[in-house]
Amino acid sequence: MRIVLVGEQLLLMVGKQMIGAKLVDHFIVQKPFIDKLTWDTLFTYQRVTWELESKVVPEANGTSYSTTSSSSTSSTSSSSGSGLSSSSKPHSNSPAHRLNRVELLRRGSSQAVWAMESDLPVCRALILKGQIYFLTECNLALFLCMPLINQLKELREMGLYLNDLSMHDQSRELALREFQHCSRLQLMYTRAEENSSKLEDSLNLQEEWKAKGDDLLYSMLPRQVADLLRQGNDPLDTCRTFAEVSVMFAEATITNEGDITHALDVVRSVNDMYKFLDNITDQYSVFKVETVGDVYMVVGGAPIYRHDHVAEVAALALHMVEAVTSKVPRAYNIRIGIHVGPVVAGVVGLKLPRYCLFGDTVNTASRMQTNSLEDRVHISETCARQLKNFDFITTHRGNLDIKGKGQMDTFWLVGRK
In the chain, domain spans: 8-181, 234-416
Integer Cα distance of 317 and 388 in angstroms:
16
Q: How confident is the model at residue 253 (pLDDT cuts 50, 70, 90)?
A: confident
Contact predicate 246/311, CB 8 Å: no
Integer Cα distance of 90 and 67 in angstroms:
9
Q: How confident is the model at residue 55 (pLDDT cuts 50, 70, 90)?
A: confident
pLDDT average, residue stretch 37-47? 82
SS3 category, 303:
coil
C-alpha to C-alpha distances, 38 to 34, 75, 289, 412, nearest whole angstrom: 10, 9, 71, 87
- pLDDT for 199 equals 92
Q: Which residues of 2-41 are buried (b: 16+ CB within 10 A; e: fewer)?
A: bbeebeeebbebbbebbeebbbbbbbbbeeeeeeebbbee
Mean pLDDT of the chain: 77
Which helix H or strand E contains 156, and what residues bound it? helix 152-157
**Which of 53-62, 75-84, 300-309 bottoms out in mean pLDDT, i.e. has the lowest?**
75-84
**pTM > 0.85: yes or no:** no
Please tell me which residue, 416 or 68, carries the higher pLDDT value: 416
Model pLDDT for residues 362-401, shown as the tens digit of each residue: 999 999 999 999 889 999 999 999 998 888 999 999 888 8
**Which of 90-104, 169-183, 211-225, 366-380 bottoms out in mean pLDDT, i.e. has the lowest?**
90-104
- pLDDT for 82 equals 36
Q: How confident is the model at residue 340 (pLDDT cuts 50, 70, 90)?
A: very high
Q: How confident is the model at residue 22 (pLDDT cuts 50, 70, 90)?
A: confident
Q: What percent of the chain has pLDDT over 90?
A: 20
**Which of 109-118, 198-207, 318-327 bottoms out in mean pLDDT, i.e. has the lowest?**
109-118
Q: What percent of the chain has pLDDT over 70?
A: 76
SS3 category, 220:
helix
User: Over 90: is that where the pLDDT of 180 sits?
Assistant: no
Which of 287, 277, 286, 284 is CA-nearest to residue 320?
277
Which helix H or strand E contains 263, and what residues bound it? helix 263-281
- pLDDT for 367 equals 92
- pLDDT for 77 equals 32
pLDDT average, residue stretch 90-98? 36
Q: At the top level of CATH, which class does the domain 234-416 belong to?
A: alpha beta
User: Over 90: is that where the pLDDT of 202 sits?
Assistant: yes
Q: Which residues contact 412 (CB under 8 A, 6 or more apart)?
A: 376, 377, 378, 379, 394, 395, 397
Q: How confident is the model at residue 56 (pLDDT cuts 50, 70, 90)?
A: confident
- pLDDT for 175 equals 67
pLDDT average, residue stretch 402-415? 89
- pLDDT for 378 equals 93
CB atoms inside a 10 Å sphere around CB 349: 9
Contact predicate 346/236, CB 8 Å: yes
Cis, bond preceding 32 (omega within 30 deg of 0): yes
- pLDDT for 174 equals 67
Rounded to an integer, what is the distance from CA 192 to the centroid of its chain?
Answer: 23
Q: Which residues contact 67 (CB under 8 A, 6 or more apart)?
A: 54, 55, 56, 57, 99, 100, 101, 104, 125
User: Over 70: is that where the pLDDT of 96 sits?
Assistant: no
Sheet strands (E) in 183-325: 240-254, 287-292, 295-300
Which of 146, 95, 99 is CA-nearest to residue 123?
99
pLDDT average, residue stretch 298-305? 89
pLDDT average, residue stretch 19-28? 84
